[in-house]
Structure 1
Amino acid sequence: MLGPQCCENPPNLMSAGACGEGSVVELGGLKTYVSGSSTLAVLLISDVHGYEAPKLRKLADKVASSGYYVVVPDFFDGEYFRAPGDKRSLADWVNSHPTAKGVADAKPIIQALKRTGISAIGAAGFCWGGKVVVELAKSDHIQAAVLLHPAMVTVDDIKEVRVAIAVLGAEIDNISPPELLKQYKPVLSTKHEVDSYVKIFHGTKHGWTTRYRDEDKIEVESAEEAHKDMMAWFNKHLKLNKRIAKI
């Protein structure tokens, strides 16, 4: 389940509508922030704070500059959890925005990407989005997955993963603690056909990759390291997939 750590250091959404180098279009029935141009796509699935979060869009632009078409859909139809001060409890918000609906909404987006000629798709999920991505990774909807401080991802979920997956976790995480993430390792090690790894970032808290504090040098550097790890994973698996498709 989600908890207070999911709401710490929330993004400032006051001017987020104009944030980023990309644009907002409709894709698969959802408003979607898009950035870059490529036949390789990366789907970023946000945490509870939504697709307008400035640091998430900044990351989308960074990934796009590495040679990808990046899409960040609004899975919440503008109904983000706004901490602090949201009149709803986080539990009520989650009940109104179940990850199962996120998975269902992601599939038309993936289909729309494929219709435009996209040859390989990777997906990265943050907190709430991590659960959506792991569900997509149980089939051939995507070719590579990255979970960043995921929420609600169980060992049984990991047992069903069928595509290359990297798990980037925080050391100080009450949502998916290192003790849980370490249980993923022996499960993944038995899946010889699935490339994988689990990495715990020392001194970091749940949510740090998109909600790092600018004044905290360690958080900023750790976030940048996680971003590089994510892009390296996609470079390895999506570009390999593209080369195989040409043979």
Structure 2
Amino acid sequence: MTSVCERCIQGYILDGQPSGVFEGPAYFKAAPVPSKRAVIVLTDIFGLKVPNSKLLADRYSEKLGCDLRLTSPSAIGNPPFTPEQLAPVVHDVPNTSTPFLAKIKFVATIFTSLPALMRIRFARRIKLEKKYDKIGVIGFCFGGAQVIRLASTDLFDSAIVAHPGPTGKKDIQAMKIPTSWICAEEDNTFPPSLRQEAESIFRRKHEIDKLEYEFKDYKGTVHGFAARPNLSIPVVKDAFEAAFEQTVSWFNKTLPVEKTA
């Protein structure tokens, strides 16, 4: 069974209306000017029903000047949680205790969603409709764990992992493409011990193979802040925007493809 924590199924919906289109089951945002690079976004556990990932894709496309494609619910299995369940269950800042009733609510939510959780399968291949010179991938939470696995293949040229879902040293060790990590201060699915081990693994990869990497920690944040932030908290809002800029900077660095005329 897929493992989740309380924060995997809580958060806040961002304001705004997505401006991309659906091409079949996938969400697509075209580059302002044709480009030979593209970025794939793997959503969190809510799939495409929550607008956040689409709004982020729109912003990435504009800032990076490239095509953005989001995986669809059919590509990752039917999302086990709905937008109606996207509500605060536990605290939004680190080092705060969780009320007992909130824990009960989490358990009840997991129980009712168990059949869907057991059906989830991520797509192992992403079929591209255009031929790009460079392709990057970013995944949030549930999608972040899948990016870690995909980074051991030859599908992508660069990756960003944002507060990933459950993963392990073996999967991290198998990664072989440049990777940027967006890390929350408090994260049950990517705890400090594993986060430190991940950086040690990449440090060795850089020493041996010159593999590029970076880890950035955001104080005052919890799992999910880069995808479903509580923007009423200044430190969370600042971290959310900084993580966005981290993404743009990383892909500009590792996917250096000139725009076509």
TM-score normalized with structure 2 length = 0.79
Residues 1:184 and 2:198 are matched in the alignment:
yes
5 Å matches for 1:16-95? 19-26=17-24, 31-37=25-31, 38-65=35-62, 66-74=64-72, 75-76=75-76, 78-82=78-82, 83=85, 88-89=111-112, 91-95=114-118
Distance 1:54 1:211 in 2: 10
Q: Offset of 1:172 from its aligned partner? A: 1.3
Distance 2:8 2:60 in 1: 23
Q: Name 1:216's counterpart in structure 2.
A: 233
Query: Runs of at least 4 residues of structure 1 off by over 6 A?
Result: none
Distance 2:109 2:6 in 1: 13
Query: Are the aligned partners of 2:159 and 2:180 in contact in 1 as well (CA < 8 Å)?
Result: yes
Q: Offset of 1:77 from its aligned partner? A: 5.3
Residues 1:175 and 2:189 are matched in the alignment:
yes
| Secondary structure class of the residue paired with 1:131 | helix
Change (3 A) 1:154 1:78: closer
Q: Which runs of 5+ in 1 are unaligned?
A: none
Residues 1:234 and 2:228 are matched in the alignment:
no
Query: Are the aligned partners of 1:134 and 1:161 in contact in 2 as well (CA < 8 Å)?
Result: yes
Say which one has the larger Rg: 2
Identity, in percent, stands at: 24
Pick from 142, 161, 167: which aligns with 1:147? 161
Q: Highest relative contact order (Cα 8 Å, sep 6+), 1 or 2?
A: 2
1:86-125 deviations in Å (ceiling 9; x for gaps): 585455433211xxx3142xx1x3x424xx1211110001
Q: Name 1:2's counterpart in structure 2.
A: 4
Count matched residues. 225
Q: Name 1:112's counterpart in structure 2.
A: 128
Residues 1:204 and 2:198 are matched in the alignment:
no
Distance 1:3 1:94 in 2: 13
